[in-house]
Amino acid sequence: MSAYAWMWVAIVAAGVLSWTTKDAGHSVPEAWLENPRVHRIAAFVTVALLSALVAVQTFASGRSLVFDARVAALVVAAVLLWRRAPFIVVVVAAAGVAAGLRALGWG
């Protein structure tokens, strides 16, 4: 098979896997989902996955570790969130810091 055909096999397999996962979620008894332990674990998993995504997107470039304008933007965003700034202010400020540092040649 060609690489193009394998790509379509992978796309269809991912779609089937996604549909199967969603169908399995509908098959779980509701009593299991209402368990407080499940709610607590789901909250922790969500935070852990989001933290991992932020870390990878901020500190990685390919297979190397980098410290560039994204790190400074993340620090600004963290401080503003800690100070309870509105989310749009956090996003605009972090983007502005990253853009400014990149315009100055850092990152």
Tens of pLDDT along 33-55? 889 999 999 999 999 999 999 99
Q: pLDDT tens digit string along 10-41? A: 999 999 999 999 999 889 888 888 899 999 99
Q: Yes or no: say if 57 and 70 are a contact pair by the CB < 8 Å rule.
A: yes
DSSP state of 84: T
pLDDT, residue 31, reads 87
In the chain, the amino acid numbered 107 is G
pTM value surpassing 0.75: no
Q: Which two tokens stand for residue 74?
A: 């993340």
